[in-house]
Amino acid sequence: MLKSWTSPSLALLVGALLSSPAWGQVIVLAEDFETLPFPPPGWTEVQSGASTNGWTAGYKLFGTAAWHDDLLGSNDNSLISPPINLLPLPNQAWMHCLQAVRFASYRDNHSVEVSLDGGITFQIIHDDVEGDTNMASLDLDLSSYAGLNGVLLSFRYTGDNASEWWVDEVVVNDIPGNILQTENNPATDHSYHLLAPSTWVQAQATAEALGGNLITIDDGAEHLWAVQNFGFDATGARRALWTGLNDLNTEGIFEWVDGSSVSYVNWAPGEPSAASADEDYVLLDATDAQFRFNDAKNINYGTLVGGALFGIAEVYMPTPVYSISNLVAGSTATFLIEHCQRLDECVIAYSISGSGPTTTWYGLVDLSMPIRALPTLTADATGTASIDIQVPLALTGVPVYSQALIVRVNGDTVLTNSLVTIIQ
């Protein structure tokens, strides 16, 4: 495989990757119920009750949601997903959605069920017991179905003159959280993930599962960067954002959840208000012009602070390290890249003509033209990519100049260290 770094082929690769919604997750189903008809193409509804209305499109949560009204009569109506292929998720699989409930005390069941036989039989994997809520994230572990094809998910409403149930933003992916957007901040060398709305406790758990914590804001520049990158949705609406600042340990003493010392705070006027004893979690307040700090309860939908509460997870982004071992003629050499992020594309390029420097699409590289590339690798869950290559016998004593290009899922690119290695 010959591939020049100055050819447009890699640029096309980067362009394709830019369409990925966020770093580090494989998504096999995503439905926001924004586009008619309802149910969406591939989804079906099975009505077994007296009502003929059943599931319809209703306005709540993020724009339009799937909605079951509290209609007269007895209802047993299931909204069923298209067949989901979990083959790309061989180890872990999760379903995430937002839900809202009204008149919960009249509910019989709001269950989520799975069918593996095309809808003939279903097994219940979740039966909601929460009270009324404007918006809650529901995160269900589907890992016992990981690697299977044709899995159906059913949202089953049962009851007689019962409750209202909204379901929206259904995602099936391979991580325990639902990442909406990812940005890397060169100023801190950290990666930041916008999480689907949740309580502070849920957001922190997701951040930890991603290898980090809710954001620690060390100075005004990081505060501004977070607001500019995550504070507004595509329509310009403002988002309230959870930070890692909290006074869980001692009322009135605010600490970052990652243990960093507090070098910067920027409270909105009148804050921290400690309006109730359990206002222990600090958000960037979307109702304040500058998104300054406000202490709030462990909630997921704050009418006082403006809309849904999105966590920002901050994850240390280590520098990728490239190495070669056993570069011996007639033997098998291992080309290794460590400390990547999961699902990074890694392109190891090499030259036998010299150490450059050569200007490429991705910056100056320590390689002389012509530059060739090994097959593109994908970093695994530990951030590692490697390939074994048989070294031809005739090449003893030949110097190999090599360097790797890392293409992040969001399209960012990083050049690794370069190596000069003489074939033994």
- Is position 280 an interface residue for Ca ion (rule: CB under 5 A)? yes
Stretch that binds Ca ion, among 28-36, 125-133, 144-152, 234-242 (CB under 5 A): 28-36
Say how far apart CA 23 and CA 408 lie, in whole Å. Answer: 7
Q: What are phi and psi of 109, to 5 degrees?
A: -145, 135
Question: Which tokens sit at 322?
Answer: 């490239």
Number of helices (H), then strands (E), belonging to the chain: the values are: 3, 29
- Is position 318 an interface residue for Ca ion (rule: CB under 5 A)? no
Stretch that binds Ca ion, among 25-33, 283-291, 389-397, 412-420 (CB under 5 A): 25-33
Q: Which of 160, 247, 255, 338 binds Ca ion (CB under 5 A)?
A: 247
Residue 184 C-beta: closest distance to Ca ion, Å: 13
Q: Which of 128, 285, 295, 344 binds Ca ion (CB under 5 A)?
A: 295
210 vs 75, 179, 195, 342, 380, CA distance in Å? Answer: 40, 10, 11, 10, 14
Residue 142 C-beta: closest distance to Ca ion, Å: 21
- Is position 33 an interface residue for Ca ion (rule: CB under 5 A)? yes
Q: Which of 32, 108, 255, 258 binds Ca ion (CB under 5 A)?
A: 32
Say how far apart CA 18 and CA 81 lie, in whole Å. Answer: 27
At CA 314, angle to CA 302 and CA 303, rounded to 5? 5
At CA 225, angle to CA 382 and CA 194, rounded to 5? 45
Instruction: Considering the complex, state which of residue 86 and residue 268 has its C-beta at the smaller distance from Ca ion.
Output: 268
Nearest to 202 by CA among 311, 112, 118, 107: 311
Instruction: Considering the complex, state which of residue 113 and residue 279 has its C-beta at the smaller distance from Ca ion.
Output: 279
Instruction: Considering the complex, state which of residue 61 and residue 340 has its C-beta at the smaller distance from Ca ion.
Output: 61
What residues from 324 to 353 belong to the interface with Ca ion (CB under 5 A)?
none
Instruction: Considering the complex, state which of residue 248 and residue 352 has its C-beta at the smaller distance from Ca ion.
Output: 248
Query: For the window 56-75, what string marks contact with Ca ion as x by the rule CB under 5 A?
Result: ------xxx-----------
Peptide bond into 41 cis (omega under 30): no
Report which DSSP code applies to 40.
P
Number of residues that bind Ca ion (CB under 5 A): 14
For Ca ion, the binding residues (CB under 5 A) are: 32-33, 62-64, 168, 216, 247, 273-274, 279-280, 294-295
